[in-house]
Structure 1
Amino acid sequence: MFTITNGIILKGQNLIPSKENIVVDDGKIINIGKDLKEGKIIDVEGAVVCPSFINGHIHIGDSIIKDEGYGLSLSEMVKPPNGVKHKALANASDDELIDAMKQSMWDMVRSGTTHFIDYREGGLDGVKLLKKASEDIPIKPVILGRDNSFYGDDPDLNKVKTAVRKLLKIADGIAPSGFGEITEDVAKIIVDECKKQNKISSIHVAESESNQIESLEEFGKTEIEKGVSSNFDQLVHLTNPKGNDLKMVSSSNANVVVCPRANATLNVGVCRLNEMLEMGMAPLLGTDNVMLNSPNMLRELEFTLKLMSVYYKSYIDPLKLLQMATTNVCSHDVNNVIQKTHINEGNFAEFVIFKSFSKNPYLNICNRIETKNILYIINKKCIV
Structure 2
Amino acid sequence: MKARFKARFVLAGELEVLQDGVVEVDDGGVVVGVGKYTGGTVADLGNVVLMPQLVNAHVHVLDAAIIDRDDMYIDDLVGWPYGVKYRLVKEHVSRGRHIPLLRKVAERMRRYGIGCALIYAEYAARDVESVYREYGVEAIVFQEAHGDFPDYPNVQVASPLDHPVEYLRELRRRYRLVSTHVSETEDCHEGGDLELALKELGADVLVHLVHVTDEEISSIPPEKTIVVNPRANAYFVGRVAPVHKLLSLKPLLGTDNVFMNEPDPWAEMKFLHAYSATAGWSIGEREILAMATVWAWEKIRCIPPIEPGRPLRALAVVAPYAGDKVLKYLVKRVAHSDLIAFVEGSRITPT
Same fold (TM > 0.5): yes
Are 2:299 and 1:329 aligned? no
Equivalent position SS for 2:71: coil
- Contact 2:61–2:105, Cα closer than 8 Å, also in 1: yes
Equivalent position SS for 2:329: helix
Equivalent position SS for 2:101: helix
Tell me the alpha carbon deviations over residues 279-308 of structure 1, each in whole angstroms, 9 at most, x when there is no partner: x12000000110110000000000011112
User: 2:128 & 2:205 partners in 1: Cα distance?
Assistant: 21
Q: Which of 327, 333, 339 in structure 2 is aligned with 1:374?
A: 339
Question: Match of 1:77?
Answer: 77
User: 1:135 & 1:243 partners in 2: Cα distance?
Assistant: 39
Are 2:237 and 1:267 aligned? yes
Q: Which of 283, 288, 291 in structure 2 is aligned with 1:316?
A: 283
**Mean alpha-carbon deviation: is it higher for 112-121 or for 130-139?**
130-139
Q: Which of 279, 282, 287 in structure 1 is aligned with 2:250?
A: 282
Equivalences for residues 295-310 of structure 1 within 5 A: 295-310=263-278
Cα drift, residue 36 of structure 1:
6.3
Question: Match of 1:132?
Answer: 130
Cα drift, residue 325 of structure 1:
0.4
- Contact 1:3–1:37, Cα closer than 8 Å, also in 2: no
Equivalences for residues 9-88 of structure 1 within 5 A: 9-12=10-13, 14-19=14-19, 20-24=21-25, 25-33=27-35, 34-35=37-38, 41-45=43-47, 47-68=48-69, 70-88=70-88
User: 2:17 & 2:64 partners in 1: Cα distance?
Assistant: 36
**1:317 partner amino acid:** G
Closer, same or farther: CA 97–273 of 1 in aligned 2, 3 Å: same
Tell me the alpha carbon deviations over residues 243-283 of structure 1, each in whole angstroms, 9 at most, x when there is no partner: 6211111x453221000011012124111001112xx1200
Equivalent position SS for 2:311: coil
Equivalences for residues 97-136 of structure 1 within 5 A: 97-122=98-123, 126-136=124-134
Structure 1 unaligned spans of 5+: 151-159, 216-221
User: 2:348 & 2:46 partners in 1: Cα distance?
Assistant: 17
Tell me the alpha carbon deviations over residues 115-174 of structure 1, each in whole angstroms, 9 at most, x when there is no partner: 00011111xxx01211332242111111111232x1xxxxxxxxx4xx24x222xxxx11
User: 1:378 & 1:18 partners in 2: Cα distance?
Assistant: 17
Equivalent position SS for 1:82: coil
Q: Which of 134, 152, 156 in structure 2 is aligned with 1:167?
A: 152
Equivalent position SS for 2:304: coil
Equivalent position SS for 2:126: helix
Are 2:169 and 1:184 aligned? no
Q: Which of 208, 225, 248 in structure 1 is aligned with 2:185?
A: 208
Cα drift, residue 104 of structure 1:
1.3
Question: Match of 2:195?
Answer: 225
Closer, same or farther: CA 188–367 of 1 in aligned 2, 3 Å: same
User: 2:289 & 2:18 partners in 1: Cα distance?
Assistant: 16
- Contact 1:22–1:36, Cα closer than 8 Å, also in 2: no
Cα drift, residue 352 of structure 1:
1.1
Equivalent position SS for 1:342: coil
Cα drift, residue 232 of structure 1:
1.2
Cα drift, residue 27 of structure 1:
3.4
Closer, same or farther: CA 180–382 of 1 in aligned 2, 3 Å: farther
Are 2:310 and 1:343 aligned? no
- Contact 1:204–1:236, Cα closer than 8 Å, also in 2: yes
- Contact 2:65–2:259, Cα closer than 8 Å, also in 1: yes
User: 1:369 & 1:287 partners in 2: Cα distance?
Assistant: 17
- Contact 1:23–1:36, Cα closer than 8 Å, also in 2: no
Could you tell me the TM-score, scaled by structure 2's length?
0.91
Q: Which of 343, 365, 374 in structure 1 is aligned with 2:330?
A: 365
Tell me the alpha carbon deviations over residues 359-379 of structure 1, each in whole angstroms, 9 at most, x when there is no partner: 122111110101111111224
User: 2:275 & 2:109 partners in 1: Cα distance?
Assistant: 22
Equivalent position SS for 1:18: strand
- Contact 1:228–1:248, Cα closer than 8 Å, also in 2: no
User: 1:188 & 1:212 partners in 2: Cα distance?
Assistant: 20
User: 2:275 & 2:113 partners in 1: Cα distance?
Assistant: 22
**1:28 partner amino acid:** V
Cα drift, residue 26 of structure 1:
4.2
**Mean alpha-carbon deviation: is it higher for 285-294 or for 86-95?**
86-95
